[in-house]
């Protein structure tokens, strides 16, 4: 359940409340019954490290496969690929 932070306009106290996302926001302070507003605070979620892109999912040779026409494709192992460009030759 998410934790929301509120601040009272009257007594200036700030407090946190666990609420469902579907719940209506609070409208009064639990201490003085004054009006409250929801406060945007820093998230505890942080991305650290190189990320998925730097961890090996990106191609290390940019355009090597697309730009190289001298590479010969490997023939099909099943031998039944008459329309396959790799079997032409």
Q: If pLDDT is split at 50, 70 and 90, which confidence band does 66 have?
A: very low
Burial group, residue 89, by CB count within 10 angstroms (0-12, 13-18, 19+): exposed
Q: Judge whether residue 41 has pLDDT over 50.
A: yes
Distance of CA 28 to the CA centre of its chain: 34
Q: What percent of the chain has pLDDT over 70?
A: 55
- The model's pLDDT over 14-24, given as tens digits with 9 standing for 90+, comes to 999 999 989 99
Burial group, residue 36, by CB count within 10 angstroms (0-12, 13-18, 19+): buried
Please give the structure tokens belonging to residue 66.
Answer: 């697309």
CA-CA-CA-CA torsion sign (42, 45, 50, 52): negative
Contact 64, 53 (CB under 8 A): no
């Amino acid at each position: 359940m998410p934790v929301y932070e509120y601040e009272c306009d009257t007594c200036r106290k700030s407090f946190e409340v666990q609420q469902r996302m579907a719940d209506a926001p609070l409208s009064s302070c639990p201490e003085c019954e004054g009006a409250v507003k929801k406060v945007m605070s820093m998230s505890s979620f942080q991305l650290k490290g190189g990320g998925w892109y730097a961890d090996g999912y990106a191609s290390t040779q940019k355009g090597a496969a697309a730009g190289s026409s001298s590479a010969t494709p490997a023939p099909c192992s099943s031998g039944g690929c008459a329309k396959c460009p790799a079997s032409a030759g």
